[in-house]
Structure 1
């Protein structure tokens, strides 16, 4: 017999995820070493040794009563003692030890207890194929032992039944313990995976919330900050402007900065935990506040024409009206940045059941356009917002060379 023919007899092939003593690499990776036994391992091995020794002593005592010679009885005692001592190697050589004990049991009944303990260890720590092999060997040795070393007080058929039942009972008990340990390992792995998935979902939700807040901050603050940029630029390039015009521009800058701070405070308030004390939030913009937005833009020097055919803006759902407000706000902001001095037309039409449309159009600028930072992220965010609301939004160059923005939003009847 060579090692390559029976690799399952090698210690290195005995690794099992349920075995408390898995082999570890030695320094240099050229060998295997096993960790030291824990207190629990010592207790289990000691109990197994005592149990095997007790069963062996009962077998030896029965052998003496059956009239066996002193030589046979002494040989049984030696073999039984050796088998019990060999149990301390069962963690390293479980399958090989169980097979050897199966052979010795046929001629030495005192090794029966050691065989049952070794069989239990194999059933707990080894896969089904190895368990089936060892169990078959134990069953065969039990049957053979009944006829080689018979018990005069027990009928051979009953002896075979008892041997088979003992082997199957120990094997079933060990496989039950193994199944329970596998279940515990699986539940722990599932719990670990669930925790990792929950943490990942929390991170994704946090990232989505941050992106939503970032888009909201852009929608709210871009309009205010553009006003600040335009009027500050006017004061910089026209230091000789009339005092009244300078005062008006300074007032617009002050008001816009105040409004920007208020809007920023409003958005940051979303991040507060429930129960945190803070200032009361201002009402969110709706379609009813669109006129105030147009008036604010006109005060900033823009020429804005509003065509609103919605008779009662209060009947428009709040979320839809807020989206319309943000679209018009972004359109006015872009026109002020990229087409200053042109007339901007804002159109709002619709009725319940047909939806609500909003359009912002500005012609091409006639003079030089000042450079104002911008990357188009506002239009991307508005397109996404309109899509999430169940509508759509298109934007791009108009036939007259200007820029047009058009959106449709649902308005339930």
Structure 2
């Protein structure tokens, strides 16, 4: 891609050093050419040599304008080089400047103009001791070297700029990936905290509600309920510490679902028993072929599914019976189903609620590579098949490699 014209700006210290070095080199080149011409007798007419020196000096001074008008200066010096010998040095510097600061197409055009200028100079001012073809070849080689060197510098600068731009993009992408990872960690923490607090606080609400509506209860029952509330609050704090500690683990350590400390399928019976102690009627049907080969991530996700479903049933269908069924085998997948027998209107009201728990549950299952289905039950829930249809079902399938 062609590079645009360089914007006008004040010279930096480096620019002043480069321009001064180039000016000194060109002046030295022109001076030695003048001394050499004096040693070999200037070409006739006699007035041409002083004029040649004057034009060469003007060309050297004009190099200070090469950053502002590089193309115009180069074309002017190329045109003068067709008749004046001492302007050769400034002309080569101008060709180099155009190749560095302008598009390759522009520098090629200016170099093309310098070829007929060299032909005209060879014809107008031939050297008595040198063949014209040799002089033309030498001039063309010098002009090509100056242009080629400038193109090399031009493309090298473009390459450096491209590498800097690529490095900047990579840095931006790395920052975005880091921000995305932070968002994922925050989402994971939010899901875990929602599951833990939702379950524990629902248990606290049940026992606290029992104390509120039965102020004259037996002191032993009050003490038992208070103990359950204290233990649930303590366990909630412990769960939060474990969740936050695992999810903030340094990079390179096992991820949250596979590290010890988070519940898995082995803790499912305790979860059901805990809900039973809170007054729920929960039945667990465990049809698993083998527990040993269940991946930790899959077991943790299954536990959270049951926990969220029991919490929703406790919240939206108090007093309803709940059946939890866990089945599966290696290679077939793990199926978790939680069904309550609440009347259909209650179940549908539960489905039309906020839905934040189900939404988070669906995201968790999807991240684990599974599928989630939930909705009202259209057939009787009890095993006898009688009664009115009703209830709410949450069914999840999770991968279980062979």
Assess, with a 3 A threshold, how the Cα gap between structure 1 residues 254 and 282 changes in structure 2: closer, same or farther: farther
Alignment partners' CA distance in 1, 2:3 and 2:109? 17
Query: Does structure 1 conserve the Cα–Cα contact (< 8 Å) formed by 2:4 and 2:103?
Result: no
Q: CA deviation at 1:182?
A: 0.6
Which of 379, 383, 402 is the aligned partner of 2:358?
379
Q: Is residue 239 of structure 2 the alignment partner of residue 260 of structure 1?
A: no
1:228 aligns with 2:217: no
2:28 aligns to what? 54
Q: Which residue of 1 aligns with 2:10?
A: 36
User: What does residue 295 of structure 1 align with?
Assistant: 273
Give the superposition deviation at 1:254.
Answer: 0.8
**Structure 1 residues 132, 349: CA separation in 2 closer, same or farther (over 3 Å shift)?**
closer
Equivalent of 1:218 in 194, 203, 210: 194
- Which deviates more, 229-238 or 97-106? 229-238
Offset at residue 392 of structure 1 (A): 1.7
Measured after TM superposition, the shift of residue 365 of structure 1 is: 5.5
Q: Is the 8 A contact 1:226 1:337 kept in 2?
A: yes
Q: Which position in structure 2 is the counterpart of 1:45?
A: 19
Q: CA deviation at 1:271?
A: 4.4
Match of 1:335 among 310, 313, 320: 313
- Which residue of 1 is the match for residue 385 of structure 2? none
Q: In structure 2, how many angstroms separate the alpha carbons of the residues matched to 1:38 and 1:48?
A: 15
2:51 to 65, 71, 75: 75
Change (3 A) 1:99 1:354: closer
Q: 3-state DSSP class of the match of 1:350?
A: strand
Check the 8 A contact 2:189/2:247 in 1, yes or no: no
Aligned residue pairs, count = 379
Partner of 2:369: 390
Q: Which residue of 1 aligns with 2:60?
A: 84
User: Would you say the 8 A contact 2:316–2:346 is kept in 1?
Assistant: no
RMSD: 2.6
From the superposition, tell whether residues 129 and 261 of structure 1 become closer, same or farther in structure 2 (CA, over 3 Å): same
* 1:177 lines up with 2:153 in the alignment: yes
What TM-score comes out, normalization by structure 2 length? Answer: 0.87
Give SS of 1:363's match.
strand
Aligned pair partner of 1:98 in 74, 85, 89: 74
Counterpart secondary structure, 1:359:
strand
Write the deviation string for residues 160-197 of structure 1: whole angstroms up to 9, x where unpaired: 11011111111001100111111111101110011001
SS in 1 for 2:47: helix
SS of the residue 2:87 aligns to: helix
Instruction: Report the CA distance shift for 1:289/1:119 in structure 2 as closer, same or farther (over 3 A).
Output: same
| Alignment match, 1:358 | 336
Contact 1:66 1:151 in 2 (8 A): no
Distance 1:47 1:349, change over 3 A: closer
Q: 1:158 and 2:104 equivalent?
A: no
The match for 2:394 is 405
* 284-293 or 306-315: bigger deviation: 306-315
Q: Tell me, what secondary structure is at the counterpart of 2:318?
A: coil
Contact 2:333 2:400 survives alignment (8 Å): yes
What's the TM-score once normalised by structure 1's chain length? 0.85
| Cα distance in 2 between the residues matched to 1:316 and 1:166 | 78
Q: Which stretch has the larger CA shift, 85-94 or 309-318?
A: 309-318
